[in-house]
Structure 1
Amino acid sequence: MPPEAIRHLSQDPVLAAIIEQTPAPQPAFADWANDLYLALLESIVSQQISVKAADAIFRRFRALFADNYPHADQLLLLTTDELRSAGLSGQKIGYLRSVATFAGEHSLDRAYVDTLTDEEIVQYLLPIRGVGRWTVEMLLLFVLDRPDVFPIDDLVIRQRMVRAYPERTAGLTGRVLYKVLHEIAAPWQPYRSTASRYLWKWKPA
């Protein structure tokens, strides 16, 4: 973790204690860290199933292509039965086709995407069926390596923050809780990605 990020985040005494008692998280970049298109396909396959199952299905999905790469034009030519043979549901097949269609009409090159702000990327990718804000925020964190992402829609992040800041969050729900969590995280800027990685790895007593 960047030392300047640790110094900044440690100004919050609660977060400082979490950092002190938690091993430094390692960046979780995939082999396709520079391939946003492939990352989007993998994120669709991974939705609502175990990591083990997702990895197996994604391997079978990629094996449907001659060079093991699901080129958008080739993906759109595959039949539903061919895609189902990899273990994909009908809904996910529709989502994968939506990613492929988007990739054929819009740029997903890092050279272009890196010119956009975090929120611009969220709004750019949300029109893809099956892609929500949480999905894009995970891509911002783990594929695009953006430093100041606060994935408040992630259940674990919310649970850990409620556990860490009980005096500020006790009894709060819904929009009120979201507002307070944003207020807690505001001083962490511009290193909220590092804070989030620590919260994910932290194991409360």
Structure 2
Amino acid sequence: MNPLTVLSLAAVAACSSAQILGYPGIYGAYPGFYSGLLPQGYKELLPAAAPLPVAQVPLTYSGVAPVSYNALPYAPVAPIQTQHHAQDELGQYSFGYAGGPSSRSETRDAFGVVRGSFNYVDSEGKVQTQHYVADALGFRVSATNLPVAPDAPEAPAPLALPGPLPEPVQDTPEVAAAKVAFKAAFDEAAVAAEAAPDARK
């Protein structure tokens, strides 16, 4: 017979002997199975079990509200957890996992383009999802938790001027005469520069 089986049976017999034989001792005063089977003369020889002291505590109502117990909500069965991984000698790979609100998946092709997505539960209890692509154009991502730019405000209506537009500035007679003199001097210098021999040669 297996030694573990023998030990198990011995432990069961030892634990149940107190219920069958009585406590304390093998034929104690506690009414067990064998205590009623003793002959009349032997019961007086056994020591009498001392009664246990019981404290008498008066029960009073203190006005405390009754305790109510809330049962735990029913826990659904855990979702099936799955994961996968594959790769080859060309540098292509595919891996991912799924289970519950959290999952991830990513692939890479022979051209080096990586595509993937993942989701998780954020601190507010919402499921957030991200999709990303990494290729020759760079890393691009689209997600449910990215900030959104506010709408552009409408262009304001043009302001109405309070009166007519001002007239452009007019030259004074001195400024007009200076402009004519400068133009004549500039033209003379240009003609003289064309007639002069080229000194750079």
TM-score, normalised on structure 2?
Answer: 0.17
Greater strand fraction, Structure 1 or Structure 2: 2
Q: Which structure dedicates a bigger proportion of its chain to helix?
A: 1
Rg larger in structure: 2
* TM-score, scaled relative to structure 1: 0.17
